[in-house]
Each structure stands twice: as C-alpha cells, then as structure tokens.
Amino acid sequence: MATRGRPKLHEDDELLAGVVHAFARHGYEAVSMRRLSLSLGLSHSALGQRFGTKDELYRSAVDAEFDRFIEEIVRVRARRPADLDDLDELRAVIEAFLEVSARFPALGRLMNQEGAEPSARLDYVIETVVRPQLSQVTDLVDRLVASGTIRPISTRALFFLVAHGAEAPFTLTGLSAAFDERDGPLDVAEHVAVTTDLIMRGLAAVAQRSFAPQTA
C-alpha cells in the first residue's frame, strides 16, 4: 500500500480497518473526518495529518483492507493442490472467496453502499480491485466454456451470483438471523460448501444439456 510520503506506523492497519467499518456502516457522505477520529479515539485532526483528505483516507483504507482480503484468499486457496484442472480450480477459487468473505463482512457492506450509484469511489474500487482480480477468473471461465465443460455465463452473472448472492449472509446478518429458527445459526463452512456445490453443479448441468447432441 502506498504511504504517500508518510512514515508507516505500526497501528495504521488497525486504524484503516476501523475506517472501512465506519464507511461501510454509515456511508461515505455521512462520515466526517472529525467523526472518524473521535470514533477511533484520536484527536480531531489526527487522521488528516496522517492520511490527508477524506478521499485520500478512503483510498488508503480500501487499499489496505482489500490487500488483506486478497492475501487471505491466496492463503486459503493454497491449502488445495496447485495443479488442479480448470473446473476444480474454479471451485477452489469460489470456496476461498466465500470463506474469506465471512471474515471481512465490512468489505461486503462497503460494496453494497458504493455499488448502488456510480461514483469516483466505485470507479476506484473497480479499477484497482474488481477488474484485476476478475481477469484471472474470467480467463478460467472462458477456457471452461470453450471446452464445453460449463455453460456460457456472463461475468456479471457469475460475479453477482457469488459475491452478492452466496456471500450475502455474511453481510446481511440481521436478515440471515431470521432463518435461525428453522435452519439453526449460520454454519459458515457448510454454507460455503453447499452454495459452491450448487453453483458448480448448475454450471455443469446446464452445460451438459446445452452441448448434448440433438436427437430426432
């Protein structure tokens, strides 16, 4: 993460995580630098002195938290063999993403906030995080579609199916809790396994129908 000329302080990551949580909960416009400083136990000018403007603080916080998020996905993915075929690799990537998303609910909530309307902030996240990370998945999906292993699917459909569908119980915790009476408390590992399996089976099943030879 760029330091913009300031010395790296040991507690920066903790502070920036708190900033992300504040923006995710209240929205960018509703949070002032003074309010952030007070909520983090700092003097009213501390964040400005250390990180610059509110926009610069936002970018620093997003950079730091998404860096941690992606590093954790890489670590979780590394539990699986490195030489998986493309179909198993897609499964491993989805599983890793969902498992780690459960540990970073503020990022999901932040994307719900920012994704509602176009903005320079949303553009920043798309250009620095979403597109670079998705490019690896789209290459994988393109190969699977070309080989007839899975059905053709738009990047948008797969992204929202995973990142704002299967991931939703980790961010919409109040709504998720409404199902506890019937289903019991959310079991993250079970949820990740079940939703990933449904996604993968759906892609493969439709592909089998789509590519099956037509009979008279």
- Does the CA dihedral 122-134-187-63 come out positive or negative? negative
What residue spans define the domains of the chain? 1-65, 80-211
**Topology adopted by domain 80-211:** Tetracycline Repressor; domain 2 (1.10.357)
Tokens representing residue 124 in the block: 């920043």
For 117-131, the pLDDT digits (tens) are: 999 999 999 999 999
For 24-79, the pLDDT digits (tens) are: 999 999 999 988 988 888 888 888 888 999 999 999 999 999 999 999 999 999 99
**E strand or H helix that includes residue 138:** helix 131-146
d(CA 96, CA 86): 15
- Entry field: residues in the chain: 216
* CB neighbourhood size of 94 (10 A): 22
Per-residue confidence (pLDDT) for residue 81, from 0 to 100:
93
Mean pLDDT, the chain, as a whole number?
90
Cβ-contact 4, 56 below 8 angstroms: yes
Query: Which CATH number describes the domain made up of 1-65?
Result: 1.10.10.60
- The CA distances from residue 214 to 146, 151, 158, 190, in Å, are 19, 16, 27, 38
Average pLDDT over residues 156-160: 97
Tokens 């913009």 map to which residue? 4
Q: Is the pLDDT of residue 209 over 70?
A: no
Per-residue confidence (pLDDT) for residue 40, from 0 to 100:
86
Per-residue confidence (pLDDT) for residue 212, from 0 to 100:
45
Task: Rank 7-21, 25-39, 106-120 by mean pLDDT and report only the highest.
Answer: 106-120
Q: Is the pLDDT of residue 171 over 60?
A: yes
Kindly write down the DSSP assignment for every residue of 3-23, as one continuous string: -TTSPPPTTHHHHHHHHHHHH
Same fold, 1-65 and 80-211: no
Q: Is the pLDDT of residue 1 over 70?
A: no
d(CA 145, CA 58): 38
Per-residue confidence (pLDDT) for residue 92, from 0 to 100:
96
Per-residue confidence (pLDDT) for residue 208, from 0 to 100:
54
| Amino acid at site 96 | A
pTM score, whole prediction: 0.87
d(CA 147, CA 214): 18
What is the DSSP secondary structure assignment for residue 78, as one 8-state letter? Answer: T
